[in-house]
Amino acid sequence: MPVAVVASALEDEVTGVALPGMPAGSPGMGGEKDGEWTVYEFGDGGEPAVYAEI
């Protein structure tokens, strides 16, 4: 995830984030980023919610 999204999550005191599916171009995955990534936030026993689309 871009540093700006991580910084925003820390500022918002998000419990956790997830980028499901291990998309191409994400850290640790080969290839180029193709398309939009949907980052989810979770915590406090609730359902995951969309945090950012990058």
- Using an 8 Å Cβ cutoff, are 20 and 40 in contact? yes
Question: Could you tell me where the beta strands, DSSP code E, fall in 1-54?
Answer: 16-18, 38-42, 49-53
Count up the domains in the chain and report the number.
1
Stated pTM of the model: 0.77
Q: What is the pLDDT of residue 20?
A: 87
Domain range for 33: 3-53
Report the alpha-carbon distance of residue 32 to residue 15 in Å, rounded.
Answer: 29
Q: What is the pLDDT of residue 51?
A: 95
pLDDT tens, position by position, 6-54: 899 999 999 999 888 888 888 788 888 888 999 999 877 788 999 999 8
CA 41 → CA 13, 31, 50, 52, distances in Å? Answer: 10, 25, 6, 9
> In 3D, which of 2, 12, 4, 7 has the Cα closest to residue 43?
12
